[in-house]
Amino acid sequence: MILDARDVCKTYGSLEVLKGVSLSLNRSEICGLIGPNGAGKSTLFRILLGLVSRDSGTLEIHSEASKPLGGIIEKPALYGYLSAFENLRVFSRIQGLELNRADIESQLLQVGLSPLRKDPVRHFSMGMKQRLGLAIALLNEPECVILDEPFSGLDPMGIRTLQDEIRELAKSRGIGILISSHNLVELGDLCDRLYVINQGEIVREGPAREILQQAARSYLLYGTGLESSTTLAKADIEQRTGSIVLHLEEDSIHIIIQRLSAEPGVILTACVPQTNLTALFEKTPE
C-alpha cells in the first residue's frame, strides 16, 4: 500500500465538506473517485497532496521517495508563453532538479509529446496540455500520482491516448494512480477499484465494474431478432435504431441473457449496462 487515508474530515465554516472519508491505494493500482459536483473530490485531493490541511483523521504515505506524491488538480497550471520543453525545465528547477536536455526530452517522450515542438503551449490542444501536466507531475519520480479530472475537454481519441499512458505508468513503473472523472465509461474502462463520494462521504467502494453493475437499472442490447423475441415480449423495453434498451427492476440480467442465447432466431452480440446515477450515488445500507 502506498497511500492510506482514514476518517478524514474537513469543514469550512458551517459546511462539512468531508465527513470521515477513508480510502487506500496500492502500488501499480488505478483507483477512481467519482461523485456529483460539490461532493468533496477536489478538497480530498488537495488534502492528500498537502495543499489543504485536514481537521481530523489520519493520512499515511508509505514511501521513501524524495517526492512520494505528484498530481494535477483540475487544469494543469502552465506558462502559456513558454514551450513544453521550457515549461518542464522551469518546473523541474522549482522542484529542485537540474535536468539536462536529454532528461527533459525523455520526460516529454514518456507522455507522448514531441521535444521538437518549440511553439508556446498556449497553442496546444487540451490533450497536449494534460500530457504536459502529467509530465510535470511525474518529475522526481513519485510513487503515487493524483489526477483530478484529467479527461476534461478531451475528444474521444485524446481520452483513449491518455488512458493508455496512465495504464502504462501503473504497469511499467508500478505507480499507484488515483483519478477522478465525471465520466463513468472512462473510469469503468480504466480503474481497478472505484470509490463513490456523495455529500462528503464514501457511499460505495469496490471493484470498478462491480460497483457500476450494482447501480445498473437498464441494459443496452445489440443483436438480431431482438424485436420479435419472446423472452423480451413482456419485458419493459425501449426500441431504438439498431438496439433495444431493457429496463429491469431487479438484477436478473444474467437470466435474460441465458434465455436470449437459447432462443431460436435471436443472436445477442452485446449487452451494455446503463448505470443509474441516482442509484450509484445512494449510500449503501450498512
pLDDT in tens, 200-221: 999 999 999 889 888 888 999 9
Say if CB 137 and CB 145 are below 8 A apart: yes
Query: Does residue 40 sit in the same domain as residue 153?
Result: yes
Grid coordinates representing 43 are 478538497
Say if CB 50 and CB 5 are below 8 A apart: no
- Over residues 66-79, the mean pLDDT reads 83
pLDDT in tens, 27-42: 999 999 999 988 999 9
Confidence of residue 261 (pLDDT cuts 50, 70, 90): very high
Cα 261 to Cα 272: distance, rounded to the nearest angstrom: 16
* Residue 286 within any structural domain of the chain: no
For 63-97, letters b (16+ CB in 10 Å) and e give beeebbbbbbbeebebeeeebbbebbbebbeeeeb
Least confident of 39-48, 144-153, 193-202: 144-153
Query: Does residue 185 sit in the same domain as residue 220?
Result: no
Residue numbers of the domain that contains 56: 3-211
**Computed from CA positions of residues 235, 240, 243, 249, in that sequence, does the dihedral angle turn out positive or negative?**
negative
Query: Does residue 220 sit in the same domain as residue 183?
Result: no
* Residue 108 within any structural domain of the chain: yes
Confidence of residue 59 (pLDDT cuts 50, 70, 90): very high
The full 3-state SS of 158-175, as one line of letters, equals: HHHHHHHHHHHHHHHHCC
Query: Does residue 151 sit in the same domain as residue 206?
Result: yes
Length of the chain: 286
* Residue 26 within any structural domain of the chain: yes
Query: Does residue 15 sit in the same domain as residue 143?
Result: yes
Query: Does residue 119 sit in the same domain as residue 25?
Result: yes
* Residue 13 within any structural domain of the chain: yes
* Residue 101 within any structural domain of the chain: yes
Grid coordinates representing 15 are 459546511
Say if CB 136 and CB 73 are below 8 A apart: no
Single out the residue in 158, 189, 211 at which a domain terminates.
211
Query: Does residue 228 sit in the same domain as residue 156?
Result: no
pLDDT for 251: 65
Query: Does residue 207 sit in the same domain as residue 227?
Result: no
pLDDT at 74 over 80: no
pLDDT for 72: 83
pLDDT at 194 over 80: yes
Percent with pLDDT over 70 in the chain = 98
pLDDT for 160: 87
Single out the residue in 211, 246, 266 at which a domain terminates.
211
Query: Does residue 54 sit in the same domain as residue 181?
Result: yes
For strand 176-180 and strand 267-275, is the pairing parallel, antiparallel, or unpaired? unpaired
Say if CB 145 and CB 70 are below 8 A apart: yes
* Residue 178 within any structural domain of the chain: yes
Angle between helices 126-137 and 84-94 (to 10 degrees): 30
pLDDT at 47 over 90: yes
Angle between helices 126-137 and 101-110 (to 10 degrees): 120
For the chain, the domain total comes to 2
Write the CATH number for 111. 3.40.50.300
pLDDT in tens, 88-121: 999 999 888 888 999 999 989 888 888 888 999 9
Query: Does residue 197 sit in the same domain as residue 222?
Result: no
Single out the residue in 186, 211, 236 at which a domain terminates.
211
Say if CB 150 and CB 157 are below 8 A apart: no
pLDDT at 7 over 90: yes
Cα 107 to Cα 125: distance, rounded to the nearest angstrom: 19
Query: Does residue 26 sit in the same domain as residue 143?
Result: yes
Write the CATH number for 243. 3.30.70
Cα 109 to Cα 176: distance, rounded to the nearest angstrom: 21
Say if CB 237 and CB 262 are below 8 A apart: no
* Residue 238 within any structural domain of the chain: yes
Query: Does residue 232 sit in the same domain as residue 265?
Result: yes
